Amino acid sequence: MKLKKGIPLIDQHDKNGLWGGKFGGNFIPETLKKPVEDLNILFEKLRKDKNFIKERDYYFKNWINTPTPFIKLENITKHLGGAQIWAKVVSELNGGAHKILNSTVHCLIAKRAGRKYIVGDTGAGYAGKMLSMSAKKFGLKCKIFMGAKDIKRQKPNVDAMKKNGAEIFPVYTGSQTLVDAVSECMRYWVANNDTTHLCVGSTVGPAVFIKICGWSTSQISRELKVQIKEEFGEIPSKLKLINCVGGGSSSYGFWNEFIDYDKKQIELIGVEAGGPKKSKKHAAPLTNNSKMGVLHGSMQYVIQNSDGQIEETESISAGLDYSGVSALHCFLKDVGRARYTSATDEEALEAYKLITKYENLNPSLEPSHAFSEACKIAPRLSNDTVIIVNSCGDAQKDRDILKKRLGRYK
């Protein structure tokens, strides 16, 4: 299994949609084979269509707000000593997180496919909020599946979805979190795919959904590469790109342009959810060497019990609280291109405290996991090392949890 240079990772799969011959694929019921294949044909056509690209770029720039800022976190760098810490402030996108990139592309595809309805899953509520925003913008009727536990803990995003006119379906099965929401959403699509387009909220699901999402979030690294060159004149010789990993869409988008570089020059670091310190129900399949299994139509490393049943996870961060992980990241782990680690709930909260104390930045609990790793390694590194953290979400949605756990928000 090897990475190919000059080809985007989303395209390095075989004819069965498998990366490295074993991750991803299309493990779906017979009734979904045709709609998935039709979507694949449409997407492959649209991504080569100049008018479609023009339309995407127009909305990315004029509606979503790209490019997002790339800033040096001078105070925290000074406080910690060692490496320079920078942030790509993706949370400045319209709606407050990277999920708007994926939902916008899906709505543009749905319009081309002549669909009137769009359905999606959400964990932290950002994928749902963004899908409801995009659906409203492009005149589609929107339905969102969300775990009942997540509905309670991510109220600001639930309110936003309702305000945008989305219909929310609470999911009461299993852990009542993202993993169950995705399952229910796919089940709904099986029965309604003739009228409805499915937007999977991360780089997970059958291969075509991994590709559409990765193609959409790659905007982050496309603009970051330009910004790095503007700032430093060239790509620094010691660069570390740190991103949290739930399903894996923000991290893939943040890394895509840099995967071909030597790992000694650019280290890619993914941070999974370690969960509460005393609990074993982490959401970190890559860090903890989980076994392979099929989840949501895709072969991947997945948290499971000895009978192969998907295990429940627990994390303070709804966006990272997922038993599986993208086939793209399974591949990057196995070829040794990216390093994966985890941060506990407590470490993410500490990082949030530190970042908000020293900087005018308000990272949600997901990127706070990535900041935790940055703060851990920076003091041990020289000041010609550049660490960039993808601050991919705004903490406004976490207001209630932060107030409860830290006694303050911001």
Which residue's CB is nearer to ligand PLP, number 67 or number 319?
319
Q: Least distance (Å) from ligand PLP to the CB of residue 205?
A: 11
Tokens at residue 302, please? 């997945």
Residue nearest to ligand PLP (CB): 393
Which residue's CB is nearer to ligand PLP, number 77 or number 249?
249
Which residue's CB is nearer to ligand PLP, number 126 or number 258?
126
Q: Rounded to the nearest 10 degrees, what angle do helices 50-59 and 99-112 cross at? A: 140
The rounded radius of gyration (Å) of the Cα atoms in the chain is: 19
Q: Least distance (Å) from ligand PLP to the CB of residue 97?
A: 4
Residue-wise over 298-308: b if at least 16 C-beta within 10 A, else e?
bbbbbbbeeee
Which residue's CB is nearer to ligand PLP, number 115 or number 272?
272
What is the DSSP track for 191-220? HHTTTEEEE-SSS-SSHHHHHHHHHHHTHH
Which residue's CB is nearer to ligand PLP, number 55 or number 400?
400
Interacting residue ranges for ligand PLP, rule: CB under 6 A: 97, 99, 123-124, 126-127, 202, 244-251, 319-320, 364, 366, 392-393
Q: Least distance (Å) from ligand PLP to the CB of residue 267?
A: 18
Distance CA 29, CA 189 (A): 11
Is residue 77 within 8 Å of 84, Cβ to Cβ?
yes
Nearest to 369 by CA among 344, 353, 348: 348
Q: Least distance (Å) from ligand PLP to the CB of residue 247?
A: 4
Q: Least distance (Å) from ligand PLP to the CB of residue 342?
A: 13
Which residue's CB is nearer to ligand PLP, number 94 or number 249?
249
Distance CA 23, CA 21 (A): 6
Which residue's CB is nearer to ligand PLP, number 18 or number 283?
283
Is residue 107 within 8 Å of 118, Cβ to Cβ?
yes
Is residue 150 within 8 Å of 179, Cβ to Cβ?
no
H/E run at residue 306: none
Which backbone phi and psi does 108 adopt, to 5 degrees? -65, -40
What is the DSSP track for 109-127? HHHHTT-SEEEEEESSSHH
Q: Least distance (Å) from ligand PLP to the CB of residue 209?
A: 12
Which residue's CB is nearer to ligand PLP, number 193 or number 325?
325
Quick count: other Cβ atoms within 10 Å of Cβ 346? 16
Q: Least distance (Å) from ligand PLP to the CB of residue 234?
A: 28
Q: Least distance (Å) from ligand PLP to the CB of residue 128?
A: 9
Is residue 90 within 8 Å of 250, Cβ to Cβ?
yes
